[in-house]
Amino acid sequence: MPPRTRFAPSPTGLLHIGNAYSALCCMRWAEQHHAACLLRIEDIDHTRCRAEFSTAILDDLHWLGMDWPETPVRQSERLPAYQQVLEQLRGMDVIYPCFCTRRDIQDEIRRMSIAPHRDDPVGDYPGTCRRLSDMERKRNMEQLPYAWRLDVEKAMRRLDLPLCWHDEAGTAHPVSLDHDMVIARRDIGISYHLAVVVDDAGQGITHIIRGDDLRHSLAIHRLLQLLLGLPEPVYIHHRLVHDANGQRLAKRSAGTTLASLRAMGIRPEQLRRFLLESPDLIWPLSDADPAAAGALLGNGDQLTHTSV
Ligand code: GLU
């Protein structure tokens, strides 16, 4: 089987230059390795995702030169598959319902950090709902909204091996989790972490190429893959695009979206060449200024292949 990778944007806004770099890294890797590069629209968060952004993303990616060999997967159409996996984890007794609000968590952390003989690591979640009795859980579930959290200690006990991920050279990198993470949010009934591991396995992804900003997700992804008996993909992290102030590019800045570049008459080969050959990956423009964009991007000829 040839290797398979994917680009997985979330339609919470228009694609910006940082997203374009990520898509290009996936495409280039696929080209160099005769791999399939698939597309997945990560639209589980109905509070932030919009259909018009999905349409614009497909259009921008076509413009950029991306072509996908299979129908894109839309996470919003896969909710039953995620619920099934959540049930599986429930059956394994490694998740528990969490009724805490943000405020409850802050109060509890404050209270625990002044307690004299604290023996429970606090992390980002102090474990409040892990300690509820079955009766309390049952009663709360009838009355309150809840998320599902992974009981990291129980989950790790089931595995009985250290957690690590592997890079392209086959080197193992140890990772760990310091608190019980939410794997199904109370508002949408699922989380990015659970959906992404289920879909990467479902789409047969062998290599995951994504930004350095997602490294912190590796521990929870590997733990879920091991618990669920899913294959382990190879992880490759690429650099991020920054603005002139050294900040990571975000969807909010006008002048950084692909839509604004297209409206300024920029051609895809100009952007591809700039991103794939830029030594420092800095996008210094925040306004839609066609002359400045044209000067920065050059004419786009002679794209050579450099490494990620
Ligand atoms: N949907 C995520 C994002 O847009 C990327 C997820 C991934 O590559 O694992 O940031």
How far does residue 196's CA lie from ligand 1's centre (Å)?
8
| CB-CB contact of 113 with 161 (8 Å) | no
Q: pLDDT for 2-23, tens place per residue?
A: 999 999 999 999 999 999 999 9
How far does residue 269's CA lie from ligand 1's centre (Å)?
24
Ligand 1 close to Cβ of residue 191 (< 6 A): no
Select from 100, 94, 96 the least CA-distant residue to 124: 100
In the block, tokens 């250290």 appear at 162
Ligand 1 close to Cβ of residue 89 (< 6 A): no
Tell me, what's the pLDDT at 306?
47
Burial of 187 (0-12, 13-18, 19+ CB in 10 A): exposed
Protein residue with least CA distance to atom 7, ligand 1: 8
Tell me, what's the pLDDT at 289?
83
Tell me, what's the pLDDT at 108?
81
Ligand 1 close to Cβ of residue 73 (< 6 A): no
Question: Which residue from 73, 210, 217, 251 has its CB within 8 A of the most atoms of ligand 1, so it is best to mutate?
Answer: 210
Tell me, what's the pLDDT at 106?
82
Ligand 1 close to Cβ of residue 196 (< 6 A): yes
> Which ligand 1 atom is the nearest neighbour of the CA of 19?
4
Per-domain boundaries in the chain: 80-184
Q: pLDDT for 209-237, tens place per residue?
A: 999 999 999 999 999 999 999 999 999 99
Distance of CA 276 to the CA centre of its chain: 22
Ligand 1 close to Cβ of residue 4 (< 6 A): no
Distance CA 6, CA 282 (A): 24
Residues of the chain with pLDDT under 50: 116-122, 305-308
DSSP code per residue over 123-174: TTS--GGGG--HHHHHHHHHHS--EEEE-HHHHHHHH-S--EEE-TT--EEE
Topology of domain 80-184, CATH: Glutamyl-tRNA Synthetase; domain 3 (3.90.800)
The pTM (predicted TM-score) of the whole model is: 0.91
Q: What is the DSSP letter of 65?
A: T
- Measured N-to-C along each axis, helices 152-159 and 218-228 cross at an angle, to the nearest 10 degrees, of 50
